[in-house]
Amino acid sequence: PGPLRFQGERVEWLQPSTLEQLLVLKEQHPQAKVVVGNTEVGIEVKFKNMLYPVILAPAFIPELQEIQHTPQGIVFGAACSLTCVGEELKRAVATSPAHQTQVFQAVLEQLRWFAGLQIRNVAALGGNIMTASPISDLNPVLQATGCTLTLASTAGLHQVQMDRFFLGYRRTAVQPHEILLSVLIPYSTKWQFVSAFKQSPRREDDISIVTTAMNVTFMPGTSVVKELKLSYGGMGPTTVLAETTASKLVGRLWGEELLEVACQSLARR
Ligand code: FAD
């Protein structure tokens, strides 16, 4: 069957049932808005007077709801709700060795403070990434930990690392004829530690002032920094990696002195 179609006075709503249909529709209507939970688009339409004449609703396409376990990590279809992502990550944390689930635990920490249950039940992981909000609570974790995004179009699939994804204020590497298909959240390795933080005026159900995620790997058996990625939200037009600071900390011992160098370097930027 073809896509389900509703035509209103100002808006055409198309609900394809296969990935192929969705990609063909996105090619035919590159400006069409892909809508899953509508928690972002709904606000834009209701409060910012935005009009999106063509809406594509992909929530029931199996590939966008799929959860796959791979040797690298867990791949979530872009339309998986945040509740569903959280439940799968909790299962993995309960059944895997702790050193493998550092990234999962950091995502779970951010989800704990992400909106309320009603929003998390409908809002999608892909919707948060694609909104490209500089104060997204999840994007710093996904960026600092090297999550991989798979984009799809009628031409095929290609992958983009999160650290190359945000091009400007609410601008991403996704082309108008493409959609975000899935997100790989990787396993961590031994000697790797990940933490994420959200600072907002209110503790619960509030917009962040600043968010951050820190991903450090030590030289085996030591406290010498081997690799480090620091990602911040709320500090500029996009979620950003503090690359200069991170490069100054590699090779140093983890301790007060490193903290001092990190704070001074971050303050200078
Ligand atoms: P939608 O509104 O359906 O879509 C959002 C954007 O993503 C649109 O531009 C859409 O075209 C695009 N998109 C969605 N899926 C795809 C896809 N597969 N391919 C291409 N483009 C796609 N955000 C936070 O970070 N932290 C919070 O604490 C938080 N709290 C909130 C509280 C409230 C009350 C509300 C209304 C919003 C909140 N948000 C928060 C923002 C929002 O809920 C999230 O960004 C959410 O994850 C968006 O998902 P969605 O499925 O609702 O997106």
pLDDT at 269: 64
CA 116 – ligand 1 centroid, Å = 13
Q: Is the ipTM of this complex over 0.95?
A: yes
Q: Does domain 192-268 have CATH number 3.30.390.50?
A: yes
Confidence of residue 125 (pLDDT cuts 50, 70, 90): very high
CA–CA gap between residue 130 and residue 181 (Å, rounded): 11
Per-residue pLDDT tens for 62-109? 999 999 999 999 999 999 999 999 999 999 999 999 999 999 999 999
CATH number of 63-186: 3.30.465.10
Q: How confident is the model at residue 203 (pLDDT cuts 50, 70, 90)?
A: confident
pLDDT of residue 30: 98
Closest CA to 79 of 126, 31, 16, 133: 126
Mean pLDDT over each residue of the chain, to the nearest integer: 96
Q: Where are the domains of the chain?
A: 4-56, 63-186, 192-268
User: Per residue, what are the HEC states of 146-173?
Assistant: CCEEEEEECCEEEEEEHHHCEEECCEEC
Is pLDDT at 28 greater than 70 in this prediction?
yes
- The whole-model pTM stands at 0.96
Residue-level pLDDT at 198: 95
Give the mean model confidence (pLDDT) for residues 26-30.
98
* Ligand 1 centroid from CA 225, angstroms: 35
Q: What residues does ligand 1 touch, defined as CB less than 6 Å away?
A: 33-41, 43, 78, 114-115, 119, 123-124, 126-128, 130-131, 136-138, 174, 179-180
pLDDT band at 2 (very low <50, low <70, confident <90, very high): confident
39 close to 127: Cβ distance less than 8 angstroms = yes
| 80-89, 109-118, 199-208: least confident range | 199-208
Say if strands 33-34 and 54-56 run parallel, antiparallel, or are unpaired.
parallel
Q: Look up the CATH number of domain 4-56.
A: 3.30.43.10
The proportion of the chain whose per-residue pLDDT surpasses 90, expressed as a percent, equals: 96
Distance 95 CA to ligand 1 centre (A): 30
Cβ atoms of 119 and 209 within 8 Å: the answer is no
As a whole number of angstroms, the distance between CA 50 and CA 265 comes to 40
